[in-house]
Amino acid sequence: RLGTEVLLKQYLAYVGIRGNVFERSCDLMAIGRQTAQSVQRLCVRETGFKPTIQLEATSVLEADKGGAPMVTCIPGALSFVLQEILKNSCHATIMTALSKEGNTTFNELAKRPISVIISADDKRVMIRVDDKAGGIPSEAGQKN
């Protein structure tokens, strides 16, 4: 679905119907913040819980002045991928918090913030999502 959308937008941009699908100065922190807020609203609507999502950004690029990276990217595609990763992380975090006996879920959620770190240098951009949900059990990857 994502590939088809990108190809269609590029075609429309090529024939002049719309602007280009790529943006030259994407504010990755703004995309991350908007996506995180959207996922938190979805979590509240679906589960009644709102996991904490903390965002941090650093860049060594001179143009960014040490702040959030500004790069050329496809904002819709980046937001879509980040949203899917954050939904999985929030779901796992909520399920882990619900499984802890003797603690209220809100206390357990407070102990498990989800961290999103966005960083860039002159060759690459990295977006790291880290949660405290316990990970995928090793037996899940074993084939019989």
DSSP string over 125-136? EEEEEE-SS---
Q: Which of 1-15, 58-72, 123-137 has the lowest mean pLDDT?
A: 1-15
- Return the H-helix or E-strand segment holding 118: strand 114-120
Q: Residue 96 and residue 132: Cα distance in Å, rounded?
A: 9
Q: What is the pLDDT of residue 74?
A: 80
**pTM value?**
0.78
Of 105 and 1, more confident: 105
Taking CA atoms, 104 is separated from 94, 111, 142, in Å, by 12, 11, 34
Average pLDDT along the chain = 82
Distance of CA 41 to the CA centre of its chain: 14
For the beta carbon of residue 48, count every other beta carbon within 10 angstroms: 9
Phi then psi dihedrals of residue 129, to 5 deg: -115, 125
Assigned token pair, 18: 């719309």
CA angle at 94 for the pair 89 and 98, rounded to the nearest 5°? 150
What are the tens digits of pLDDT across the range 3-25?
777 776 666 666 555 545 677 78
- Return the H-helix or E-strand segment holding 71: strand 70-73
Return the bridge partners of 59, or none: 120
Please check the confidence at residue 129 and state whether its pLDDT lies above 80: yes
Pairing of strands 23-27, 70-73: antiparallel
